[in-house]
Amino acid sequence: MMAKAGQFNAKITAPGFDPTTVGLTAADVTAFTAAYNAAKAAYVDRSAAKETKKAKTTAFSGTGGLLDQLVAAWRDQANKIRVSAASDDTCVDLGVDRRKASPTPKAVPANPPGVTLDSLQPGIIRLRIYDTGSAGARARAANANGTQLAVVNGTAAVAANEADTVPTFLVQRSPATLDSTKMPGTVRIYARWQTQRGLFSPWSAPLTVHVA
């Protein structure tokens, strides 16, 4: 808009242009030129203000800016306070928490996951794994970072603790895809939650699958 207004103003004020030929008066031209110059000055001021704001924003919150410097200084002093002889109450009053020497471990899920057959194709078994205590179809138990699976030969009789006698593997998605090309005709699949600390929930009841 400002560019077009400038072009218009240049034409109506050009030497030799008679404004009366287009229905304007000399006063009209003077009034428009004054309005254009005022708007142009304000436009320049606004553009300068935007650049100033951008520079000030970068100085405050940009990478390595004043906010980062403040946080770094605050963190440094907080660490000094943590290892000082000050009491825990004094630290808390200053907003500084001391970490416990032995953090409380996260609870291991008390219940095993639910396991159902999602789909069965030649060479592929897809399992849906979910938290039985949640309404979510794919919900993972609190504090679990995945599910450990054990695949047992289902053509043999069920044995006590058989899930602990075969190799296991960790899956972190649901549905989970298993390669069944080297599995016997029937398998029993057990599942249990695993935490980041390598702790486990109980094993689930076996899911019997007739391999395609």
Tens digit of pLDDT per residue, the chain (212 long)? 999 999 999 999 999 999 999 999 999 999 999 999 999 999 999 999 999 999 999 999 999 999 999 999 999 999 999 999 999 999 999 999 887 666 667 788 888 999 999 999 999 999 999 888 665 555 778 888 889 999 999 999 999 999 999 989 898 888 889 999 999 999 999 999 998 888 899 999 999 999 86
The reported pLDDT for the residue numbered 207 is 93
* Cα dihedral across residues 16, 19, 20, 21: positive or negative: positive
The reported pLDDT for the residue numbered 144 is 87
Q: What are phi and psi of 30, to 5 degrees?
A: -60, -40
Beta strands in the chain (DSSP E): 114-121, 124-130, 144-153, 168-171, 176-179, 186-195, 207-210
Contact 176, 209 (CB under 8 A): no
Question: What distance in Å separates the CA atoms of residue 150 and residue 173, rounded to the nearest whole number?
Answer: 16
What is the SS3 assignment for 128? strand
Boundaries of every domain in the chain: 2-61, 114-210
Tokens encoding 177 = 């895809």
**CATH second-level architecture of 114-210?**
Sandwich (2.60)
